[in-house]
Amino acid sequence: MSIFSEKLIKLNYYALDKKSCLTEMVEFLADNDVILSSENFLNSILEREELMSTGIGRNVAIPHARSKDVKQFKIAIYILDNELEFNSIDDEPVKAVFMIAVPENMKEEYMKILSKMSNFFRDEENRNRLFNCSTYKAIYDLLKGIENEI
């Protein structure tokens, strides 16, 4: 099972605001046959954001939800063309958004990937490598290393 896919990456996306970015990402997941109901999954994502922003700091956000509407464990990746206000824990804008869609029965894998991604992006070198990627393949190759550790 591969949770990353080149077809779930968007480069140079211009985000108007946090909610429209999250809505667009949910639609992107639906268009790629990852989720059953855009409306239900978006509600799960927004409920999670209300608890606490998933802007983990250092220009990265990892919105996520476990839901019965998720058909397959996947991560959509948007590398932004602009800086997006996301209410991040460090008050810095976001430049990369990773939306994790998790089937309801995969709690253990969910916690592992969240932890691995947070640790990966704490490292400045990893973030710089990500922000310097200019192709889908380069981003995919960088991130599949995270997946290999699960």
3-class DSSP assignment, residue 56: strand
Whether residue 109 lies inside any domain: the answer is yes
Give the C-alpha separation, 93 to 58, whole Å: 8
Whether residue 126 lies inside any domain: the answer is yes
Rounded mean pLDDT, 83-105: 96
Whether residue 85 lies inside any domain: the answer is yes
> How many domains is the chain partitioned into structurally?
1
Model confidence band, residue 149 (pLDDT cutoffs 50, 70, 90): low
Whether residue 123 lies inside any domain: the answer is yes
Whether residue 111 lies inside any domain: the answer is yes
CATH number of domain containing 130: 3.40.930.10
Q: What is the domain extent for residue 116?
A: 6-142
Digit-coded pLDDT (tens) for 7-66: 999 999 999 999 999 999 999 999 999 999 999 999 999 999 999 999 999 999 999 999
Rounded mean pLDDT, 1-12: 92
Q: What is the pLDDT of residue 147?
A: 79
Scored b (16 or more CB within 10 A) or e, 14-37 reads ebeebeebbebbbebbbeeebbee
Q: What is the pLDDT of residue 150?
A: 61
Whether residue 65 lies inside any domain: the answer is yes
Whether residue 54 lies inside any domain: the answer is yes
Whether residue 45 lies inside any domain: the answer is yes
Model confidence band, residue 148 (pLDDT cutoffs 50, 70, 90): confident
Digit-coded pLDDT (tens) for 109-139: 899 999 999 999 999 999 999 999 999 999 9
Contact 104, 67 (CB under 8 A): yes
